[in-house]
Amino acid sequence: MFTEDFYRYSVLPTHNVTYARVRWYQHKKLSLLVVILISPVVLFFILYGILFGFHRNIVYPKTATKVFPENFYRASVYTRSALTNKSLENIPQFRDHRKLPVKKFKLVCYYALPTNDQEVLKVEDLDPHLCTHINAAFGKVVNKTLHMTEPFTSSLKKLVKLKEVNKDLKVLISVGGAGNQDNGFPEMVLNHSNRKIFIKSVNNAIKTYKLDGIDLDWEFPNLDTPDRFQRMHFTQLLEEFRKSITKQSTPYLLTVAVAAPMTLISQCYDVSYMNDYVDFINVMSYDYHFYSKWTPFTGFNSPLYASDDEVFFFGTMNVNYSANYWNQLGMDRAKIIVGLPTYGHTFKLANVKNNGLYAPALGYGRLGSLGFVDYFDICKFLSTNQISPVFDMEVKSPYASKFYEWVSFENTQSLTYKAEYIRDQQFGGAMVWSLNSDDYKLSCQMEGREEGKFPLIKSIKSALFSPR
């Protein structure tokens, strides 16, 4: 039986058993030596990949290097408010309010004026008919007066000239900003004499530069200060501004950029009194989720609604809750301008396989700077790396990820939902931060789809002013 197998094995050469054992032992020593030498190298690259990510297959746009000091401070404050209140259970619920029809919606666009010759958004590149209001960012409070220097003032004069093309356009000077934490607001509001000096300097600037108003962007009154009367002093500033404005031959607009998280609203503002003095407020309803050591997980920059998984305080960190909370505390709906961002937030994932909402994160993503990234750089990142975004219908916001990179952003779809929400809920309009971070470079053009410059703001305008 099996004669063919018997024959094959019978003709195999015989081996010396001792010689075979020696060779086996030598091979074993050599293999062990190779393992000892290679293991540290392999271990190094594994640890490096875990700590710093495997980015060799991701292409990053060269322009994604801009730092956003204005936004960084605000994002960290919002994060801190979430940390201190994350276990809050008694979240206020809203009563039904009768919605008075808004005569005309506003589209308020912040614009960081160019102050150098670098490749930035120039005044000449703006569309005078895109926004109803443009807030020029930022003047400062120095020695109790409104302080502006060259080349800021030259750019401001160019901006005002856009009103020659669109006579309905309103141009305001925005004072403060989140990048101006070492600001002069606390000293200026301290007493009536100081406030009077500031208001007089603003009146002079309004006339000199032919402006339509002032936007106060103090981030934030009554925060991290031993002065327990600071919130009251800020309210007094608004009251005295209103009295001064009524005496002007040509009254101008008084607006305030305000916080969105519930606890900051209650801590920083006397809402019902503010309602009597301001023309409208610009709610900074973005930076709800931002990487920090206290919140090391992914999240949406500006979700319209809370997801079902978000409970307690995190259930309040969304556009819908913030806008209604301002209304609940006494601000007229028509005076609430809801903020929408044109930039995104990036995160570095801890695990590439866990890449959804609230996935653990190790830091900011490599895209952008300090977790902030312009929309035109997001477009380049998505198209270059052939990434298809995920749209979360529950919160009406998109996100995208590849390897260890995770980015929350807005697109024309998400901003259309939010603008329709503002229109249907009869708030006063939409505010955008900012013109500078929308796609003015035509980086987001898709095959067979020509959106032109500023596609995000155009989508807001289209939905906001379209009939229901």
- Distances from the Cα of 148 to the Cαs of 78, 207, 212, 238, in angstroms? 28, 14, 17, 21
d(CA 468, CA 422): 11
Here the tokens at position 446 are: 């898709």
Predicted local distance difference test score (pLDDT) of residue 451: 74
> Do residues 258 and 128 share a domain?
yes
For 118, residues 6+ apart whose C-beta sits below 8 A from its C-beta are none
How confident is the model over 110-146, as pLDDT tens digits?
Answer: 999 998 767 789 999 999 999 999 999 999 999 999 9
Domain range for 313: 70-88+99-340+412-438+449-464
> Do residues 256 and 170 share a domain?
yes
> Do residues 46 and 129 share a domain?
no
d(CA 411, CA 376): 11
Out of 33-37, 71-75, 436-440, the most confident range is: 436-440
User: Is 175 among the domain residues?
Assistant: yes
Report how far apart the first and last C-alpha atoms of the chain are (Å, whole number). Answer: 90
Residues designated as active site: 219
Here the tokens at position 306 are: 């809370």
Predicted local distance difference test score (pLDDT) of residue 66: 52
How confident is the model over 347-365, as pLDDT tens digits?
Answer: 999 999 999 999 999 999 9
User: Is 106 among the domain residues?
Assistant: yes
Predicted local distance difference test score (pLDDT) of residue 49: 54
The residue ranking higher by pLDDT, 368 or 96, is 368
> Do residues 47 and 82 share a domain?
no
The residue ranking higher by pLDDT, 178 or 237, is 237
User: Is 369 among the domain residues?
Assistant: no
- Which of the four pLDDT bands, split at 50, 70 and 90, describes residue 27? low
Taking residues 333-338, report their average pLDDT. Answer: 99
Taking residues 53-73, report their average pLDDT. Answer: 60
Here the tokens at position 172 are: 């305001």
For 130, residues 6+ apart whose C-beta sits below 8 A from its C-beta are 107, 109, 454, 457, 458, 461
How confident is the model over 152-185, as pLDDT tens digits?
Answer: 999 999 999 999 999 999 999 999 998 665 689 9
How confident is the model over 369-383, as pLDDT tens digits?
Answer: 999 999 999 999 999
d(CA 445, CA 185): 43
> Do residues 130 and 20 share a domain?
no
Predicted local distance difference test score (pLDDT) of residue 182: 64
Taking residues 397-410, report their average pLDDT. Answer: 98
> Do residues 30 and 84 share a domain?
no
Predicted local distance difference test score (pLDDT) of residue 244: 99
In the predicted structure, residue 91 carries a pLDDT above the cut 80: no
- Distances from the Cα of 282 to the Cαs of 82, 323, 338, 415, in angstroms? 21, 10, 6, 17
User: Is 371 among the domain residues?
Assistant: no
> Do residues 44 and 189 share a domain?
no
Count: domains in the chain: 2
> Do residues 114 and 35 share a domain?
no
User: Is 213 among the domain residues?
Assistant: yes
> Do residues 30 and 106 share a domain?
no
CA geometry: angle 307, 310, 312, nearest 5 deg: 140
Q: What is the CATH number of the domain that holds 418?
A: 3.20.20.80
> Do residues 122 and 26 share a domain?
no
For residues 384 and 61, is the Cβ–Cβ distance under 8 A?
Answer: yes
User: Is 29 among the domain residues?
Assistant: yes
Predicted local distance difference test score (pLDDT) of residue 7: 34
Predicted local distance difference test score (pLDDT) of residue 224: 86
Mean of all residue pLDDT scores within the chain: 87
Describe the crossing of helices 412-424 and 455-464 by its angle, rounded to 10 degrees: 30
User: Is 405 among the domain residues?
Assistant: no
- Which of the four pLDDT bands, split at 50, 70 and 90, describes residue 28? low
User: Is 59 among the domain residues?
Assistant: no
What is the model's pTM? 0.84
> Do residues 324 and 185 share a domain?
yes
- Which of the four pLDDT bands, split at 50, 70 and 90, describes residue 330? very high
d(CA 179, CA 331): 27
Here the tokens at position 182 are: 């070492």
How confident is the model over 251-282, as pLDDT tens digits?
Answer: 999 999 999 999 999 999 999 999 999 999 99
Predicted local distance difference test score (pLDDT) of residue 381: 96
> Do residues 174 and 46 share a domain?
no
- Which of the four pLDDT bands, split at 50, 70 and 90, describes residue 74? confident
Closest CA to 172 of 256, 277, 80: 256
